[in-house]
């Protein structure tokens, strides 16, 4: 816990979660509702979103559901205004929506590049532009959690996921910058960098390889990820990882960078 930040607490708080109709987002919503948090849930899948709303409302918490395309700045702006009226003070923001962007760099269409960056990167940008002011306005303890990926630190040599990794490197950088900018304020920042998680992200992708599909199917349960995230918020941790085998890859990449720096003449 940072010296200038008090514990957040859960009961009676309010959270905004994007990509909340399934996977990590829905697991977070369930875990938060169980801790007494009111919810604004957003997703582009209206059927799944309504099912999530009905399930979560049965817990007795206030649940506001809205179809939101996070790649659309005006859509996110309108959602922020609606959530502000419906929820009151917001203490937690989960910029969680994301999509797969598998494929060789030279094989992806321009539309695929734009859609991938639109959701994975600009979805976070739009969330910070329009949702973050709601957390800052009340002046109390709050937390932003941006969902990146282990791919935000390491490009897997055996999977054609360089474009996806590029979006997640960007989210890590945005989160690191945001942590600096919010230093000394009551608003903490965390960046979630999961390894494979058993979600439907690959099933919803036309380009996901068999390697990726198998890896995701054997991944960590979303409920476990949600618990790790909420525990990290209580500690005001910045980096949040899940079980992963990427440590050696990150170490090799870091050593290669440091070796190159060391070769530069003084």
Joined tokens for residue 10: 């859960």
In what helix (H) or strand (E) does residue 14 lie, and over which residues does it extend? strand 14-18
* First-last CA distance in the chain: 38
Number of H helices, E strands in the chain: 10, 7
Could you tell me which residues come within 8 angstroms of residue 109 by beta carbon, excluding any fewer than 6 positions away? Answer: none
Determine which one of 83, 94, 153, 164 is catalytic: 164
Query: How many CA atoms within 13 Å lie on the side-chain side of 148?
Result: 27
Q: Are strands 239-241 and 92-95 parallel, antiparallel or unpaired?
A: unpaired
45's CB contacts (< 8 A; 6+ apart) are: 21, 22
Token representation of residue 241: 């990882």
Q: How far apart are CA 99 and CA 120, in angstroms?
A: 7
239 is catalytic: no
Alpha-carbon span 184 to 84, nearest angstrom: 25
* Cα 158 versus chain centre, distance: 24
Catalytic residues: 164
């Amino acid at each position: 816990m940072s010296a200038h930040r008090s514990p957040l607490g859960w009961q009676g708080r309010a959270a905004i979660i994007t990509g909340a109709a399934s996977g990590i987002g829905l697991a977070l919503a369930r875990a938060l509702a169980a801790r007494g948090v009111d919810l604004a849930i957003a997703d582009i899948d209206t059927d799944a979103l309504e099912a999530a709303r009905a399930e979560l409302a049965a817990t007795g918490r206030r649940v506001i559901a809205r179809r939101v395309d996070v790649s659309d700045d005006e859509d996110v702006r309108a959602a922020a205004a609606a959530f502000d009226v419906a929820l009151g003070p917001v203490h937690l923001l989960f910029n969680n929506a994301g999509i797969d962007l598998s494929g060789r760099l030279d094989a992806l269409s321009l539309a695929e590049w734009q859609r991938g960056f639109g959701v994975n990167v600009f979805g976070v940008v739009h969330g910070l532009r329009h949702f973050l002011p709601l957390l800052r306005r009340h002046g109390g303890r709050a937390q932003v959690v941006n969902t990146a990926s282990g791919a935000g630190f390491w490009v897997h040599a055996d999977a054609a996921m360089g474009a996806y990794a590029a979006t997640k490197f960007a989210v890590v950088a945005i989160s690191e910058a945001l942590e600096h900018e919010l230093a000394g304020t009551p608003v903490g920042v965390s960046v979630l960098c999961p390894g494979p998680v058993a979600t439907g992200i690959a099933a919803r992708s036309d380009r996901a390889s068999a390697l990726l599909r198998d890896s995701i199917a054997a991944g960590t349960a979303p409920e476990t990820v949600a618990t790790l995230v909420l525990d990290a918020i209580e500690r005001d941790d910045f980096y949040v990882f899940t079980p992963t085998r990427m440590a050696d890859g990150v170490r090799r990449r870091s050593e290669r960078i440091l070796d190159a720096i060391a070769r530069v003449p003084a």
